[in-house]
Amino acid sequence: MTATPPALDGTCKLLPAPAPGTDVFATVAAEYAALAAEHGPRNVLVLKRHPAGLETLIEALADADLERTDDGPRSPRIESLPEHASKTIEEYDPTLSRLEYEERIELISMVIDGASRSVPAYLERAADHESFARDVGQLLLAATRQRIRLDDLDLPHDCLAFLYAMNDRFHAELDDRGYVERADVIPQAVDLLEANADGLRTRVTASFDAVLAVEFEEYRRLDRRYLAALSGDVDLVCLGERHASVERTRVEPGCVEEAARDAGLEIESLEPVSDCESTDAPPHQPITRFLATGEPPEGNVDTGDGSTVGDPAGRARRIRTETAREQVRAVATEIQSLSDRHGWSADEFAVAVPRIERVPETRRRLRDAGVPTATIGTPSLAEDPAVNELYAVITCQCERERDGDALERFDPAEPSRESRDSSDPRDVSLNRLQARVPDFSTALLAETAGSSVRRSLERWIRRTDLKGRIAREEEWVDAREQYEGMKRVLEIARFVEETDLVGPDWQGLRRMLRRTIRYDAPYVHAVETRPPTGGVTVCAVDDLKYDSRQAVFLLDLIDETYPGEQFLTQLFPSAWLREMPTYPAVTDPSLEEIAETFEPVDATAVGDPFETYHAQRSRRRLALGARAAERALYWCSYERGAGGLQRTYDESRYLKLLESTPGLRIEDVDAAGDAAIHGETNAVEALLNQPRGELERVLREASTGGEADLGETEALFEEIAVVLEEGDVDDELAEAVRSQFEFAAGEVMRDD
């Protein structure tokens, strides 16, 4: 299927390089306004390749509609391409069901368990690794998106042949059951549109006269075929950026201009439209351009002795700390400092991590440092307290279903409990319920149980006031996520009652939920980065491509992350990937492909083509994350252990490259402990550290024969005492400060 090149009839307008986010939005809005003026706003369909950043783009186009008309705002027709393809399939068959994430896990597990094909020895050994299921799942999703089938391949690697065979069986099961997998939505929609099945293409295209394809540099071959099937008889304008493709180049080498030309589009160069509200370009814009294109800044001359003539053309700031924990704390301090100085609200900041799995920990540490965060998503189910409570209920109900009096004989308060295995699921579940639910008893389980597992769980949630407990005990962000976790468990219960994959009882629900928790990945579901309550956005760096914030902090700028050492997947060694042409990604790029994809890379200087290719993709990720900053950009790194007691600043090679490039300047931020204090949490910590620190200073001077100014110490302690006695200080904080004096004086010994 993918061998047929897509044929597009229209224009592709390309920006020369990644521009500031506000300029990109202004440019898209200008192109949309031109099409809307010609065809009418309701007759223009805007398709963005990825859902990330869709809300911001909608706001920009809505503002363009408001400025263009005098009769009030109009809502632009804008969708992500996957969502539009999903609606196209539903238009063809409203009864077709999209397979949910949890349902996919259960069905594909059933297919693998029933496989008659022998499992390769390597996969059997690899299955013991924690990330195995997730890595296999990502590989199969990529193969599905590209419509890779085992029968179409010549001599694939044994491991890939096994996995592709399982994927083919899995999709055969989907067809039999009337399901469609989300990753298969675009391939199936392409088939339906190209065949005009039941007049589908005619019906879908009748509602618009023009298509504006945004983020065209990320449209893959099947995406371009979908666009071709959708836009054959309408006005088509594709808008893309050179040097900005990260996702498409993962699976398809080549520059966006080459992809557009092969598709038959007329190519036009387009200068970005400047945002009328912005008077100055971001100070780091030359850095962004240099990372994306390799073009050095203009207006600076290298003197040959390591210095330059002229002011730096590009400036950014750097935070360096000893540990990853201190890195986040220093970021929190800088956010509070910028907020105090400029009056920026919390939602004007973004903190970007290299992988989505780093979001929960980073967000928690920011909040511990007193910084409100706003990212809403669904973290790993294994870490969700509400999900764990419901899983404990399900485990106990399974035991009751097997033996009605089992839990009464298994009372955690029973004297014989000490002789039992503390890891027994029944013991663990009862202990968890006792700790979380006021006045818990096994009778409560009996009272809430019924013939329907879903209604029984809903009855438990109401009787134990689970939602109310979450609202009272958790921060609003955690509460929102736990509500989503409960919703997912109830959806799984509903699916269990409707499917024949598992029994519609407690045993079937426990099996499916246990498997989902095991294979689940953090934040694989919807993530909302601009909720109405506001807060600092914490997200993966890739999600910033179509976003714009006053200040952006890019975390973990160490070489093992940017570019990293293991590309594409942890499932196979890199040496194997180089010999796997049927892997669903670029594994064996030629020197010419590298040069075309990542101009101005010198093909003659490439050592390892595989590593060079994907390292350049990592460099682009940094560039696109950096361009989201409107006013301030921060590179953040930390020391990394190098064996024994040795530690080293193993900074990213790209950060070192920026430092060594004439015309670019990276200014260090003071992240030391005695730096200026910003934020309530940091102020409290500094106050608690003062008594012990001051007394240790006096003792240190005395032990070395020096003279300590006790008058200064007495004045400090007297000032603290006055604040505690007369100030509006929380009683617990006052007691904590007094305890620090007792610890420092040796009056209290910590029992370790």
For the cut 80, the answer to whether the pLDDT of residue 685 exceeds it is no
pLDDT in tens, 316-327: 999 999 889 999
Residue whose structure tokens are 């047929």 = 4
Residues present in the chain in total: 752
Inter-residue contact 11 to 268 (CB < 8 Å): yes
Q: What is the Cα–Cα distance from 664 to 296, expressed in whole angstroms? A: 9
Question: Across residues 563-568, what is the average pLDDT?
Answer: 86
Residue 162: pLDDT band with limits 50, 70, 90:
very high
Which residues is 123 bridged to in the sheet?
none
Q: What pLDDT shows up at residue 72? A: 46
Average pLDDT over residues 141-155: 92
> Angle at the Cα of 542 (from 537 to 547), degrees rounded to 5?
55
Q: Which two tokens stand for residue 186?
A: 């675009």
CA distance 334 to 536: 12
Residues with Cβ within 8 Å of residue 276, at least 6 apart in sequence: 26
Asked if residue 272 lies in contact with residue 24, where contact means CB atoms within 8 angstroms, the answer is: yes
- Look at the block and give the residue holding tokens 């069986």: 169
DSSP letters spanning 594-612: HHHHTTT--GGG-S-HHHH
Mean pLDDT value across residues 552-565: 93
Within 13 A of 560's CA, how many CA atoms are on the CB side?
A: 8
Average pLDDT over residues 52-67: 80
pLDDT digits (tens, 9 = 90+) for 223-251: 999 999 999 889 999 999 999 999 999 99
Whether the CA torsion 21, 25, 30, 31 is positive or negative: it is positive
Between CA 576 and CA 62 the distance in angstroms is 49
Dist CA 124 CA 537 (whole Å):
40
**Confidence at 737, pLDDT banded by 50, 70, 90:** low
> 236 is written with which tokens?
């088509």
pLDDT at residue 252 above 50?
A: yes
Least confident of 39-48, 207-216, 243-252, 498-507: 498-507
Contacts of 304 (CB under 8 A, 6+ apart): none
Asked if residues 655 and 638 have their Cβ atoms less than 8 Å apart, the reply is no
pLDDT value of residue 192 = 95
**What six digits make up the tokens of 452?**
């329907």
Task: Write out pLDDT tens, residues 442-454.
Answer: 889 989 999 899 9
User: Which pLDDT belongs to residue 63?
Assistant: 76
Cα of 530 vs its chain's centroid, Å: 14
How far apart CA 176 and CA 170 sit, in angstroms, is 10
Residue 749: band (very low, low, confident or very high) from pLDDT cuts 50, 70, 90: very low
Query: What local confidence, expressed as pLDDT, does residue 752 receive?
Result: 40
Confidence of residue 66 (pLDDT cuts 50, 70, 90): low
Instruction: Quote the pLDDT of residue 443.
Output: 87
Q: Report the DSSP beta bridge partners of residue 241.
A: 15
Rounded to 5 degrees, what are φ and ψ at 147? 55, 50
CA distance 646 to 649: 11
CB 108 within 8 A of CB 144: no
Per DSSP, the residues of 609-666 read: HHHHHHHHHHHHHHHHHHTTEEEEEEEEEE-EE-STT-EE--B-HHHHHHHHSTTEEE
pTM of this structure: 0.82
The H or E element spanning position 320 is strand 314-321
The pLDDT of residue 468 is 94
Whether 300 and 662 have beta carbons less than 8 Å apart is answered as: yes
Backbone φ and ψ for 127, nearest 5 degrees, come out as -65, -15
Give the angle 249-191-183 at the CA atoms, nearest 5°. Answer: 50
Is residue 85 within 8 Å of 220, Cβ to Cβ? no
